[in-house]
A and B are shown apart, each in its own frame.
Chain A
Amino acid sequence: MDTNSRVKSGLISRRALRARFRETGIKWRLLLRNNLAKVCVGFIVLEIVVALFAPLIAPYPDDIGGAVHPQDKLEAPSWSHPFGTDEFGRDLFSRVLYGTRISLGAAAAAVGLALLVGVPLGALAGGIGGVVDDIIMRICDVFLSFPSVLLAIAIAVFLGPSLQNAILAIVISWWPWYTRILRSQAISLKERQFVRSARAIGSKRRAIVFRHIVPNSLGPLIVQASLDFGYVILTLAALSFLGLGAQSPTPEWGLLVNTSRNYFLNAPWYMIFPGLAITFTVLAFNILGDGVREVLDPRSRTY
């Protein structure tokens, strides 16, 4: 490839990139025309801010850890404790706020790692094809034939209960989804004009896969991954609820609901607020997901 054509290809890719940004911008604006989706975006942004600054926002930062105030135990919600207090007198509002950081952070880690495993394997399967494709996809089939929560539970048990291991368990049960998406993208991209041209000018297969196929598949993949957030948060909460995730005194939402089981009949706030936090977060991701799907695939909009 001479210098001239390299500049040209650079130019072309920059122009292509700009077009793609413009397209993303249009879709984003379409999405925000949906009021419900707008509310969800706002809520998620708010949660991210809360997650980043939780220790600064929390009215009782000490209560995030293992502080004990026996004189305040199981107090009903009031101005000084908007969500009430738990069995050690800790402020539940502070703990639920901090839980945002744990849930969003852990979900981001799980989805990110699953992408990191799933994408290269999908690229291999779709890009190379043949026996490699068969082997990788059959392994995916096996993993996808488990209900993912079941596999995550089994793995978490054997790894030992901790938040890191819960994340790892979700990654192990989750990566095949991304492998599958990337593979199907790769297979359809392989026949597109620009990939054929790259092949025609003699690019190496690895270069084609990583320079053309992977970057062009990332769009749908990232959308899918962000939509999976809600489900991953639910799975993490379920693992913690079973005692396989975060351990006390970490204020993880699922764990908070689990510990509340001994007290909730007389101290319902202890159970209600962490559960509402999970529900609203997952709800926001799910509604946003529906909105995104409608924008990306207008046929799914059945009205």
Chain B
Amino acid sequence: MLAFIIRRVALSILVVFGVLVITFLLTRVVPSDPVSQYVGPRATPEQRARAVEELGLDEPIYVQFGVYLSDLAHGDLGESLSSHQPVTKQMAEFLPPTLELVFVAIVFAMVIGVPMGVFSAQNKNRWPDHLARVISVGAISMPTFWLALMLQLVFFRWLHVLPLGGQLDAYYTLVDPVPRVTGFLFIDCIIAGNWGALWDYCVHLILPAISLGAGSLALLARMTRSSMLEILNEDYIIAARSYGLGEGVVLWKLALKNSLGPTATVTALTVGWLLVNTFLVEAIFNWPGIGNYIATAVTTLDYPAIIAVTLFSAVAYVILNMLADIVVALDPRVRQ
């Protein structure tokens, strides 16, 4: 077991190193002219010469890579080209709203997706099953950004029940603001005891969380359905049924518990996927998170910002995958 964990961690370290190499190559090798990218196309020759020196482009490539690594180790990811603030500082500012959104989306996907899968397995090949499968294959096939816009159209424009975007109503941002303590608005509202703002925040979370979580919901439902179907054929389920245990106990206590292994893996994988999809969703809902930050950075070609977010998401993805693998390996049935 320990050997497995060590091997898995070593692989992850190797992969993170590879990620660093790729991002380095992206910044230094892919652009034909990194200097103009840094100083702009209308720079004087002196400015260009200074940029070459500042960027260390006159050094051999392995020295440049070493400098890149040591900067990273010191938490220095450079300055944003558009706001001229350190990228790490901006990341810290934009991260909490994204984490909250991703968390709520995951919870939404699990709370709906897992029961949907169980229900689907229970009614195998009857209409509830067909309906659930149609929903899940539809949700996987829909572009996330289009789903977000459709939800805005229906719930904001047509039904007038939910806000178009943002985190809070103008009333709570201007008249009765919530002081920023942790950056997590959920916690900040509670600290401030501002229950109106908390409610308003929850209302603003609904549409972004649904658009973000829909794909994961579908994956979870599919995964739960197929692992439930496998387990429902096991001897111990037949035994439990012949003891006369109620169908509810059999399904929700015995079968579901044992089908959650693959579900855990999918959930971990899906977090990485959600982080990337925030790029598409946050801009649409004007959510002040990492995704919105990178969507702007992409249009203004703010390279340091893009690299920072790429690094962060990739490393988060690697770590989550590693944790999921280790958790699954803790299961004695897998270990053999």
Which A residues are closer than 8 A to B by beta carbons?
138-139, 141-143, 145-147, 149-151, 153-155, 157-159, 230, 234, 237-238, 241-244, 254, 257-258, 260-261, 264-265, 268, 271-272, 275, 278-279, 282-283, 286-287, 290, 302-303
Contacts and interface: CB of A to CB of B under 8 A. Distances in A.
A147 B125 contact: no
12 contacts: A145-B18, A146-B317, A150-B313, A153-B276, A154-B307, A155-B26, A238-B143, A257-B143, A265-B152, A279-B141, A302-B225, A303-B125
Interface string B3-43: 00000000100110011011100110011000000000000
A34 B76 CA distance: 57
A150 B291 CA distance: 11
B145 A241 contact: yes
Contact of B143 (A141, A234, A286, A302): A234
Contacts of B23: 154
Contacts of B141: 230, 234, 279, 282-283, 286
Contact of A271 (B19, B125, B153, B272): B153
Nearest to B318: A145
A292 B144 CA distance: 25
- Measured as residues with beta carbon below 8 angstroms from the partner, the interface class of chain B is 35 or more
Given A147-B313, A275-B146, A286 B137 contact: yes
Contacts of A244: 298
B149 A139 contact: no
A270 B15 CA distance: 43
A260 B301 CA distance: 22
Contacts, number: 142
Contact of A302 (B145, B226, B313): B226
A242 B279 contact: yes
B30 A159 contact: yes
Interface string B149-161: 1101100110000
A279 B146 contact: yes
Nearest to A275: B146
B280 A238 contact: yes
Contacts of B185: none
Given A145-B15, A278-B146, A303 B229 contact: yes
Contact of B303 (A139, A150, A157, A271): A157
B127 to A, nearest CB: 15
B316 to A, nearest CB: 10
Contact of B149 (A146, A159, A264, A302): A264
B330 interface: no
Nearest to A276: B146
**Which of B11, B140, B144, B146 has the largest count of A CB atoms less than 10 A from its CB?**
B146
Given A258-B145, A275-B142, 15 more contacts: A145-B15, A146-B19, A147-B313, A150-B276, A153-B306, A155-B30, A242-B280, A242-B295, A242-B299, A257-B146, A275-B146, A278-B142, A278-B146, A279-B143, A302-B226
A138 B18 contact: yes
Contacts of A290: 137
B143 A275 contact: yes
A145 B19 CA distance: 8
A275 B138 CA distance: 13
A302 B225 CA distance: 9
